[in-house]
Amino acid sequence: MITGASSGIGKACVNLLVDVGFIVYAGSRTPEKIDIVHQNLYPIALDLTSHEQIKSSIDAIHKEQGSLDIVINNAGYGLISSVEDANEEEMKSQFDINVFSIFRVCKAAIPYMKNQENSIIINIGSYFGKVALPLFSFYSASKFAVEGLTDALRYELKDLNIRVHSVVPGFTKTNFTNADLVENSYTFNRHSSYKKILDTTPQLMENINNGSDPKVVAKTILETINNHNSNTRVYVEDKNHKISLLGDELTEDEKMIYRFYLLEMADMDIDKDELKIAMDAKEILLKDFANPPKIEYLAKLCATNKTKLNKVFQNVYKITIGNYIKKLRLEKANLLLQEQSLTIGEVAKEVGYLHQGNFSKLFFEKYHVHPKDLLRQKC
Ligand SMILES: NC(=O)c1ccc[n+]([C@@H]2O[C@H](COP(=O)([O-])OP(=O)(O)OC[C@H]3O[C@@H](n4cnc5c(N)ncnc54)[C@H](OP(=O)(O)O)[C@@H]3O)[C@@H](O)[C@H]2O)c1
């Protein structure tokens, strides 16, 4: 069963799952809008604000099929509003659909799903459930909550044979910025106190609209279903996030953590110079949130502020960035050793290592040749 099935990620998921042979109950406020015709597909009317309606739908599914194996909590929408402007109804509705509906669906489904062989609950999270943006406080908070409930449920249901995951899409081209987006009228007024921030939202919307195809998310959901060893949180690669510039250096999780830890850096207990570097990094990422974060620039920043930045990153995310910087330095050292007539000590110094011995050891680990032997070969 999947919620929010009439458009975007939900619809792509329905399409893929029926095609590979799943029997899919596609829940929607407007099931008549589901224009897919397939023998495995059963569109159902679902009001996610009503526990009774959700329960009677799930009871009916179980009665018809004899089991309920997988639930995908996908329905969700974004409220754009300052905290100051949002009204009670807007605030509550955001959580009602994005968070409480998941509780309602789980509450009704778990009795049927527990103690089966392979039950799976997948909640659709968001990058905004990892980093919060101004005017998205309610949406972000709701998606942070999705991560929290996913974690708690995963432990709660482990012994009952129910796997719980969140699948976290990046920018995805769906109806998200159109039909279902809720814009607070005061925040969107041209005299609003938040006009300056608001002016950045069209760019963000454009990036969402130019985002990945929802089929990519559907494919990730299917992979999560099929892989019994899936991570709890499964990130969907976002074609706009040039964080992948780091290529194979980082795992998907590391890319995500790196990106968001950078945003947190300025709050750290670090000295003034380090703070300035951290703020620069944060500024770049914030300014460019809608655009690719300038990783190369950050890497350069690292290279020119070696010790300080290393210290910052040691506190923040030492393995990832540390490895990346190490890789850059050693590659540069390799070039210098191959092309110039510098001594090992000079090369070590040039690429930022104070101790020649340490440099040689790291170089050997990477290239399986001691710098001394490399120079000898060159001779
Ligand atoms: N698009 C992105 O860039 C992106 C990124 C990260 C996460 N997400 C998440 O992905 C999920 C699917 O969104 P989407 O991008 O596919 O957007 P979408 O095309 O707008 O689809 C969202 C679906 O959620 C349901 N929904 C929306 N507002 C609702 C409301 N007030 N009450 C009940 N149901 C409502 C609708 O289902 P019915 O009309 O069929 O009832 C709608 O089809 C959401 O949880 C969203 O937060 C999206």
User: Tens of pLDDT along 11-39?
Assistant: 999 999 999 999 999 999 999 999 989 99
Tell me how far the alpha carbon of residue 11 lies from the centroid of ligand 1, in angstroms. Answer: 10
CB 324 within 8 A of CB 248: no
Exposure string over 152-161, b if 16+ CB within 10 A, otherwise e:
ebbeebeeee
Residue 273: which pLDDT band, with cuts at 50, 70 and 90?
low
Tell me how far the alpha carbon of residue 8 lies from the centroid of ligand 1, in angstroms. Answer: 7
Tell me how far the alpha carbon of residue 167 lies from the centroid of ligand 1, in angstroms. Answer: 14
pLDDT at 101 over 50: yes
- Return the amino acid letter for 148: G
Q: Which of 34, 49, 74 has most ligand 1 atoms within 8 Å of CB, for mutation?
A: 74
- Return the amino acid letter for 241: H
Q: Rounded to whole angstroms, how far apart are CA atoms 46 and 71?
A: 14
Cβ–ligand 1 distance for 167 under 6 Å, the answer: no
At residue 338, the pLDDT reads: 86
Nearest atom within ligand 1 for CA of residue 217: 10
Cβ–ligand 1 distance for 293 under 6 Å, the answer: no
Q: Rounded to whole angstroms, how far apart are CA atoms 367 and 225?
A: 40
Strand partners, 72: 2, 122
pLDDT at 242 over 60: no
Length of the chain: 379
Q: Rounded to whole angstroms, how far apart are CA atoms 233 and 363?
A: 35
At residue 208, the pLDDT reads: 83
At residue 134, the pLDDT reads: 82
Cβ–ligand 1 distance for 27 under 6 Å, the answer: no
Nearest to 334 by CA among 350, 321, 318: 350
Instruction: Map the chain to HEC letters.
Output: CECCCCCHHHHHHHHHHHHCCCCEEEEECCHHHCCCCCCCEEEEECCCCCHHHHHHHHHHHHHHHCCCCEEEECCCCCEECCCCCCCHHHHHHHHHHHHHHHHHHHHHHHHHHCCCCCEEEEEECCHHHCCCCCCCHHHHHHHHHHHHHHHHHHHHHHCCCEEEEEEECCCECCCCCCCCCEECCCCCCCCCCCHHHHCCHHHHHHHHHCCECHHHHHHHHHHHHHCCCCCCEEECCCCCCHHHHHHHHCCHHHHHHHHHHHHHHHHCCCCHHHHHHHHHHHHHHHHCCCCCCCHHHHHHHHHHCHHHHHHHHHHHHHHHHHHHHHHHHHHHHHHHHHHCCCCHHHHHHHCCCCCHHHHHHHHHHHHCCCHHHHHHHHC
Q: Which of 3, 7, 241 has most ligand 1 atoms within 8 Å of CB, for mutation?
A: 7
Cβ–ligand 1 distance for 171 under 6 Å, the answer: yes
Cβ–ligand 1 distance for 211 under 6 Å, the answer: yes
Q: Rounded to whole angstroms, how far apart are CA atoms 298 and 39?
A: 52
Tell me how far the alpha carbon of residue 282 lies from the centroid of ligand 1, in angstroms. Answer: 29
Tell me how far the alpha carbon of residue 101 lies from the centroid of ligand 1, in angstroms. Answer: 13
Residue 262: which pLDDT band, with cuts at 50, 70 and 90?
very low
pLDDT at 317 over 50: no
Residue 129: which pLDDT band, with cuts at 50, 70 and 90?
confident
CB 353 within 8 A of CB 359: yes
Nearest atom within ligand 1 for CA of residue 9: 16
Cβ–ligand 1 distance for 102 under 6 Å, the answer: no
Residue 278 is encoded by which pair of tokens?
């951290």
Residue 207: which pLDDT band, with cuts at 50, 70 and 90?
confident
Highest mean pLDDT among 79-93, 164-178, 204-218, 232-246: 79-93
At residue 264, the pLDDT reads: 46
Nearest atom within ligand 1 for CA of residue 127: 6
Nearest to 71 by CA among 96, 18, 38, 108: 108
pLDDT in tens, 136-186: 999 999 999 999 999 999 999 999 999 999 998 888 999 999 888 999 999
pLDDT at 249 over 80: no
Any idea which fold 323-378 has?
Answer: Arc Repressor Mutant, subunit A (1.10.10)
Cβ–ligand 1 distance for 175 under 6 Å, the answer: yes
Q: Rounded to whole angstroms, how far apart are CA atoms 238 and 172?
A: 8
Angle between helices 356-367 and 306-339 (to 10 degrees): 60
Nearest atom within ligand 1 for CA of residue 29: 41
User: Chain centroid to CA 19: how far?
Assistant: 27
Tell me how far the alpha carbon of residue 142 lies from the centroid of ligand 1, in angstroms. Answer: 13
CATH superfamily, domain 8-250, is NAD(P)-binding Rossmann-like Domain (3.40.50.720)
Least confident of 33-42, 167-176, 231-240, 317-326: 317-326
Least confident of 107-121, 196-210, 340-354: 196-210
Model pTM?
A: 0.72
Mean pLDDT across the chain, nearest whole number?
Answer: 82
Q: Rounded to whole angstroms, how far apart are CA atoms 379 and 365?
A: 22
Residue 55 is encoded by which pair of tokens?
């329960």
Cβ–ligand 1 distance for 225 under 6 Å, the answer: no
Residue 259: which pLDDT band, with cuts at 50, 70 and 90?
low
Nearest atom within ligand 1 for CA of residue 171: 3
Mean pLDDT of the 206-230 span: 92
Cβ–ligand 1 distance for 34 under 6 Å, the answer: no
- Return the amino acid letter for 366: K
Tell me how far the alpha carbon of residue 363 lies from the centroid of ligand 1, in angstroms. Answer: 50
Least confident of 52-56, 293-297, 351-355, 358-362: 293-297
Nearest to 204 by CA among 181, 179, 235: 181
Give the active site residues: 139
pLDDT at 83 over 50: yes
> What's the first-to-final CA gap in the chain, in angstroms?
69
Nearest atom within ligand 1 for CA of residue 48: 33
Residue 16 is encoded by which pair of tokens?
């893929």
Instruction: Map 77-137 to HEC letters.
Output: CCEECCCCCCCHHHHHHHHHHHHHHHHHHHHHHHHHHCCCCCEEEEEECCHHHCCCCCCCH
